[in-house]
Amino acid sequence: MTTPPRRKKIYEGKAKILYEGPEPGTLIQYFKDDATAFNAQKKAILEGKGVINNRISEYVMTRLNTIGVHNHFIRRLNLREQLIKEVEIIPLEVCCRNIAAGSLSTRLGLPEGEQLPRSIIEFYYKKDELGDPLVTEEHITAFNWATTQEIDDMLAMTLRVNDFLSGLFGGVGITLVDFKVEFGRIYDGDFSRVILADEISPDSCRLWDSITSEKLDKDRFRRDMGDVIESYTEVARRLGIMKEMPTVIQGGVQ
Ligand code: TMP
Ligand code: ASP
């Protein structure tokens, strides 16, 4: 006899699952241990990753809420799950870069680690079949993925997230090289507004030790550098949020 599912699954992505929430307009976001890279050509299970990312994302989203960057986070429910507001996801990955790395370095031939003249925001169309291509505001408005007002709101919020995160991580000896965020619409009658959604964690940011430039993020997995969980744990430890989850360090968490 199989146990019936605890709750209805709404969506399953590469690193997270969304379940129906306890009340209308809410969802439960479950963080998996699955790690993927290069559009899931590379896959692994990293034990404890979901727990750490749930906690780091909770911390960052809560702090962002207090400075008025509205987001979907309501509260953490347990080690792997958080209650969130249901949004209509805008099909864009919004990437903000302070230092050249990754696909920007490859595309423009910039050495990794080169300081950019200013922060650069890019949009990628969220479409796995196409490998999330880089798009411009022209594509976004022409294909109705977002309005010009929504683009302005996303740009303004992304810059605020960048300023806030640069300071937060800078204060604990970590350089924010770049990060990716996603946004969603929340409806109030006929009106909608854009809020920050998804997650902010070492899966979605490039974080380098400010002194040694050691990578403390998902590039350790993408580039087979090892010590992925140890590095994510180090980020949580420096943020001062390790205390509540000692079992993760011991690797014994379900
Ligand atoms: P990129 O240099 O590979 O374009 O990545 C830029 C930033 O976005 C980096 O912090 C990693 C993050 N990112 C994601 O969160 N999801 C993705 O699918 C990709 C490609 C990058
Ligand atoms: N592109 C994501 C990353 O590298 C994951 C994936 O595409 O499988 O972060």
Q: What CATH number is attached to the domain comprising 61?
A: 3.30.200.20
pLDDT score of 242: 84
User: Domain containing 82: what range?
Assistant: 9-87+228-244
Residue 3: pLDDT over 80: no
Residue 220: pLDDT over 60: yes
Q: Please provide the size of the chain in residues.
A: 254
| Ligand located closest to 103 CA | 1
**Ligand 1 in contact with 36 (CB < 6 A)?**
no
Are both 160 and 106 inside the same structural domain?
yes
Are both 78 and 104 inside the same structural domain?
no
Are both 108 and 63 inside the same structural domain?
no
**Ligand 1 in contact with 199 (CB < 6 A)?**
no
Number of domains in the chain: 2
pLDDT score of 250: 44
* Rounded distance from Cα 206 to ligand 1 centre (Å): 8
pLDDT score of 247: 55
pLDDT digits (tens, 9 = 90+) for 124-162: 999 999 999 999 999 999 999 999 999 999 999 999 999
Residue 57: pLDDT over 80: yes
Does a structural domain hold residue 251? no
Atom of ligand 1 nearest to the CA of 106: 2
pLDDT score of 41: 96
Q: How far is residue 217's CA from residue 35's CA, in Å, rounded to a whole number?
A: 12
Residue nearest to atom 9 of ligand 2 (CA): 37
Mutate to test the pocket of ligand 2, among 38, 45, 215 (most ligand atoms within 8 A of CB): 38
Does a structural domain hold residue 97? yes
* Rounded distance from Cα 179 to ligand 1 centre (Å): 7
Are both 126 and 190 inside the same structural domain?
yes
* Rounded distance from Cα 6 to ligand 1 centre (Å): 33
Residue reference for tokens 């605020």: 160
**pTM attached to this predicted model:** 0.94
Residue nearest to atom 3 of ligand 2 (CA): 37
pLDDT score of 47: 98
Are both 144 and 162 inside the same structural domain?
yes
Residue 54 φ then ψ, to 5°: -60, -45
Does a structural domain hold residue 133? yes
* Rounded distance from Cα 11 to ligand 1 centre (Å): 21
pLDDT digits (tens, 9 = 90+) for 221-239: 999 999 999 999 999 999 9
Sign of CA dihedral 38, 131, 40, 28: positive
**Ligand 1 in contact with 54 (CB < 6 A)?**
no
Does a structural domain hold residue 25? yes
**Section 104-122 average pLDDT:** 98
| Ligand located closest to 180 CA | 1
- CATH number of the domain at 140, please: 3.30.470.20
**Ligand 1 in contact with 215 (CB < 6 A)?**
no
Residue 178: pLDDT over 80: yes
Are both 124 and 202 inside the same structural domain?
yes
Q: Which residues pair with 123 in a beta bridge?
A: 94, 135
Q: How far is residue 99's CA from residue 175's CA, in Å, rounded to a whole number?
A: 9
**Section 196-214 average pLDDT:** 98
For residue 156, what are the contacts with CB-CB under 8 A and spacing of at least 6? none
Residue 4: pLDDT over 80: no
Residue 74: pLDDT over 70: yes
